[in-house]
C-alpha cells in the first residue's frame, strides 16, 4: 500500500527524512498488519520490561528519585498490565464492528473495519518517562502502526535506557527511538506523520498542533492543568486525607492528574489540614525529605519554579528544600491569593493550596470559572453532593472519594477536555486512537430496486419518502 514519502523536513540542520521514510516503507510491506506479528512484538515488549526491571528502576531513581514501589506500580507494572489487557482483547478489537443496515440498502452489511493509520510519532514527557512513552506505543503497536518514540530529555537516564533496549527487543524496521530536546522534536514535527501523540504542557501542545496542521495530521494531546479537589464537610476525613496525600505527593506531586488544589467549606479547613498533616507523618515520617519513599523534583529549574510559588505565600506546613537532591518537602498553603502564581499555574510539585469557599455552589463556580481540568476529585459521604459535582462541572475525568484510581481501569479512556487536551487512550480507546475505523458497506447485486434511479417520478419519490 503506497505511503507518501517525506520530502522536506530539515529543521535546525537536523533531518529525519530517512528515518521516517524507512518506517513508511516498512509499513507499506504490510508486515505490521499481521496479528501474529503484533502479538509477537507485544510479547517482546513485555519481555523487555521483565528482563530489565532492575535497570529501569535504577533509571527512574536517577531521573526522579522514584522509590521502587512507585516506580514499579506506576511505570513497569502499569505497562505490563496494559500489555496483558491488550493481548487479551486484541482479537476482538481488530474485528469488524457490525452496525445495522437500513431497508433501502438491503441486502447489505454495514460495519467499521479498524485499520492501522501508518507511521506515527509519540512524544513523551518526563514525569512518568517510561509509562508515558510506552503506553501509547503499546496502543500504536496493537493497532498495527510503525512508530518513532521521542522520550523527554528531562529524564535522560530513562531516555537512554529506552534508546538502548528498544532495538534489542523490537523489530527495528518498525520502530525507532529518537533522543533529544526541542531541536530534535522540531525536526521530527516537520515530517509528515499519520498521527502525532503528544504528552506534555499546553505551550508545546500548541506548537505540536500547529506543526501537525501543516500536513493535516490528526493529533492526540495529553496535556495538564490544575486538577481541583472538593472536600465536602460530610466526609470520612481520615480516608479522605490518606487518599489525598497518596495522590498529591506520589512522585513529589509531579503527576498530571495529581490534585492541584483543594476547595473546602470555610470553618472546615483546620480539621482537614490536621488530618493531612497526620497522614503525611504516617506515610513519610516526621522528615519527609529523609524518607526513601519521597521523590525528587526533576531538576533545579523546576525546584526554582516551585520555590517562587512559596514567596509571600501563606505556608502552614512544610516548605523545606534540599537543593542538592533537588527536593521540596510536602507543603500546604492556606488561602493563597487567587491571582498568585500558585493559583494561576499548574503546580506540578509538592505544594497543596487549600482554598476556603462559602458553599458547595461556590466550589463548583470556582472550578467552572477556570479552564476545564484534566481530572476532578470530590470527597463526600453524601451521594447527592457527588452527583451534583459530576453533573455541574466538566473535566477529562472525575473520581469520587479517591484520587487517581481511575487510571487502574483500562476500560476507562484517559484524556483531557478543552485546555487539558484532546483525544484519549488506554485499553480499546488507545487502539482506536491509532486506528482508522473505516466505514464499509457490502452490497449484493440482488434486489436492484429501480426507484432510486432517474428518470424520477412522483411515485418513485413517494416510495423513497417511505423508505428513507
Ligand atoms: P517535557 O518538558 O518533557 O516536554 C514534553 C515533550 O515535549 C518532551 O519530549 C520535549 O522534548 C518535547 N518538547 C519540548 N519543547 C518542544 C518544542 N518546542 N517542540 C516540540 N516538542 C518539544 O514535559 P512538560 O511539558 O514539562 O510536561 C509537563 C506537563 O505535561 C504538565 O502540564 C503535565 O500536566 C503534562 N502531562 C500530561 C500528562 C497526561 O497524560 N495528560 C502526563 C504527564 C504530563
Closest CA to 435 of 9, 6, 10, 32: 32
**For residues 241 and 255, what is the distance between their CA atoms, to the nearest angstrom?**
18
Q: Which residues line ligand 1 (CB under 6 A)?
A: 123-127, 132, 150, 152-154, 181-182, 185-186, 189, 199-201, 204, 207, 222-224, 256, 346, 348, 374, 421
Measured in angstroms, how far is the CA atom of residue 126 from the centroid of ligand 1? Answer: 7
Question: Closest Cα to atom 42, ligand 1: which residue?
Answer: 256
The pLDDT value recorded for residue 4 is: 55
The pLDDT value recorded for residue 1 is: 47
Q: Which residue has the cell 506546613?
A: 317
Which ranges of 311-349 would DSSP assign to H, the alpha helix? Answer: 341-344
Question: Closest Cα to atom 43, ligand 1: which residue?
Answer: 256
Residues marked as catalytic: 222, 256
Atom of ligand 1 nearest to the CA of 208: 20
Closest CA to 208 of 118, 312, 303, 124: 124
Q: Enter the pTM of the model.
A: 0.96
Atom of ligand 1 nearest to the CA of 257: 34
Measured in angstroms, how far is the CA atom of residue 390 from the centroid of ligand 1? Answer: 28
Atom of ligand 1 nearest to the CA of 202: 32
Question: Closest Cα to atom 27, ligand 1: which residue?
Answer: 200
The sheet carrying 397-400 orders its strands as 315-317, 331-334, 351-357, 261-265, 228-231, 375-379, 397-400
pLDDT in tens, the chain (468 residues): 445 555 556 767 888 999 999 999 999 999 999 999 999 999 999 999 999 999 999 999 999 999 999 999 999 999 999 999 999 999 999 999 999 999 989 999 999 999 999 999 999 999 999 999 999 999 999 999 999 999 999 999 999 999 999 999 999 999 999 999 999 999 999 999 999 999 999 999 999 999 999 999 999 999 999 999 999 999 999 999 999 999 999 999 999 999 999 999 999 999 999 999 999 999 999 999 999 999 999 999 999 999 999 999 999 999 999 999 999 999 999 999 999 999 999 999 999 999 999 999 999 999 999 999 999 999 999 999 999 999 999 999 999 999 999 999 999 999 999 999 999 999 999 999 999 999 999 999 999 989 999 999 999 999 999 888
- Residue 345, exposed/middle/buried by CB under 10 A (0-12, 13-18, 19+)? middle
Question: Closest Cα to atom 21, ligand 1: which residue?
Answer: 185
Question: Closest Cα to atom 24, ligand 1: which residue?
Answer: 200
Longest dimension (CA), the chain: 87
CA 463-464-467 angle, to 5 degrees, is: 90
CA-CA-CA-CA torsion sign (130, 135, 138, 140): negative
Atom of ligand 1 nearest to the CA of 374: 41
Residue to probe by mutation, ligand 1, list 82, 204, 349, 424, most atoms within 8 Å of CB: 204
Measured in angstroms, how far is the CA atom of residue 47 from the centroid of ligand 1? Answer: 28
**For residues 410 and 80, what is the distance between their CA atoms, to the nearest angstrom?**
12
Question: Closest Cα to atom 39, ligand 1: which residue?
Answer: 222
278, three cell numbers: 497526620
Closest CA to 237 of 11, 49, 3, 401: 401
Atom of ligand 1 nearest to the CA of 125: 3
CA-CA-CA-CA torsion sign (424, 94, 412, 137): negative
CA 101 to chain CA centroid, Å, is: 36
**For residues 79 and 74, what is the distance between their CA atoms, to the nearest angstrom?**
8
Q: In degrees to the nearest 10, what's the CA dihedral of 265, 268, 274, 276?
A: -30
* Beta carbons within 10 angstroms of residue 88's beta carbon: 10
Measured in angstroms, how far is the CA atom of residue 221 from the centroid of ligand 1? Answer: 10
Question: Closest Cα to atom 13, ligand 1: which residue?
Answer: 182
Indicate the DSSP class of residue 420.
G
Measured in angstroms, how far is the CA atom of residue 209 from the centroid of ligand 1? Answer: 13
Measured in angstroms, how far is the CA atom of residue 201 from the centroid of ligand 1? Answer: 5
Could you give all domains of the chain from N- to C-terminal order, each with its CATH number? 10-223+418-440 (3.40.605.10), 228-410 (3.40.309.10)
Q: Give CB contacts under 8 A, 24+ apart, made by 339-342.
A: 340/309, 340/312, 340/313, 341/308, 341/309, 342/309, 342/310, 342/313
Residue to probe by mutation, ligand 1, list 201, 212, 371, most atoms within 8 Å of CB: 201
The pLDDT value recorded for residue 468 is: 84
Measured in angstroms, how far is the CA atom of residue 213 from the centroid of ligand 1? Answer: 19
Amino acid at each position: 500500500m503506497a505511503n507518501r514519502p517525506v520530502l522536506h523536513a530539515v529543521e535546525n540542520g537536523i533531518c529525519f527524512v530517512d528515518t521516517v521514510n524507512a518506517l513508511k516503507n516498512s509499513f507499506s510491506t504490510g508486515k505490521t498488519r499481521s496479528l501474529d506479528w503484533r502479538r509477537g512484538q507485544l510479547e517482546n515488549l513485555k519481555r523487555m520490561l521483565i528482563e530489565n526491571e532492575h535497570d529501569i528502576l535504577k533509571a527512574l531513581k536517577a531521573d526522579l528519585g522514584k522509590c521502587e514501589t512507585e516506580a514499579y506500580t506506576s511505570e513497569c507494572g502499569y505497562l505490563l498490565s496494559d500489555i496483558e489487557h491488550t493481548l487479551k482483547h486484541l482479537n476482538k478489537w481488530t474485528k469488524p464492528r457490525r452496525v445495522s443496515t437500513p431497508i433501502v440498502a438491503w441486502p447489505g452489511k454495514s460495519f467499521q473495519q479498524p485499520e492501522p493509520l501508518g507511521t506515527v510519532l509519540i512524544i513523551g514527557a518526563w514525569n512518568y518517562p517510561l509509562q508515558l512513552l510506552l503506553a501509547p506505543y503499546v496502543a500504536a503497536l496493537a493497532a498495527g502502526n510503525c512508530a518513532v518514540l521521542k522520550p523527554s530529555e528531562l529524564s535522560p537516564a530513562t531516555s537512554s535506557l529506552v534508546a538502548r533496549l528498544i532495538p534489542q527487543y523490537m523489530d527495528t524496521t518498525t520502530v525507532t527511538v529518537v533522543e533529544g530536546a526541542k531541536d530534535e522534536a522540531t525536526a521530527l514535527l516537520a515530517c509528515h506523520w499519520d498521527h502525532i501523540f503528544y504528552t506534555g504542557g499546553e505551550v508545546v501542545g500548541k506548537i505540536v498542533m500547529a506543526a501537525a496542521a501543516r500536513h493535516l495530521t490528526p493529533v492526540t494531546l495529553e496535556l495538564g492543568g490544575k486538577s481541583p479537589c472538593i472536600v465536602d464537610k460530610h466526609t470520612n476525613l481520615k480516608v479522605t486525607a490518606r487518599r489525598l496525600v497518596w495522590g498529591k505527593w506520589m512522585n513529589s506531586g509531579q503527576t498530571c492528574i495529581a490534585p492541584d488544589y483543594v476547595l473546602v467549606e470555610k470553618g472546615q479547613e483546620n480539621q482537614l489540614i490536621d488530618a493531612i498533616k497526620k497522614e503525611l507523618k504516617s506515610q513519610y515520617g516526621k522528615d519527609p525529605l529523609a524518607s526513601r519513599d519521597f521523590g525528587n523534583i526533576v531538576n533545579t529549574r523546576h525546584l526554582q519554579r516551585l520555590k517562587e510559588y512559596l514567596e509571600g505565600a501563606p505556608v502552614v506546613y512544610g516548605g523545606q528544600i534540599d537543593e542538592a537532591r533537588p527536593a521540596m518537602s510536602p507543603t500546604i498553603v492556606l488561602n493563597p491569593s487567587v491571582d498568585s502564581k500558585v493559583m494561576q499555574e499548574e503546580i506540578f510539585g509538592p505544594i497543596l493550596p487549600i482554598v476556603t469557599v462559602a458553599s458547595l455552589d461556590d466550589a463548583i463556580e470556582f472550578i467552572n470559572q477556570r479552564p476545564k481540568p484534566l481530572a476532578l476529585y470530590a470527597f463526600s459521604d453524601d451521594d447527592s453532593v457527588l452527583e451534583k459535582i459530576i453533573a455541574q462541572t466538566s473535566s477529562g475525568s472525575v473520581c469520587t472519594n479517591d484520587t487517581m484510581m481511575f487510571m487502574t481501569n483500562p476500560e476507562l479512556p484517559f484524556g483531557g477536555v478543552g485546555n487539558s487536551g484532546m483525544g484519549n487512550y488506554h485499553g480499546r480507546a488507545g487502539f482506536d486512537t491509532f486506528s482508522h475505523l473505516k466505514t464499509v458497506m457490502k452490497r449484493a447485486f440482488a434486489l436492484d430496486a429501480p426507484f432510486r434511479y432517474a428518470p424520477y417520478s412522483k411515485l418513485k419519490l413517494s416510495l423513497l419518502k417511505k423508505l428513507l
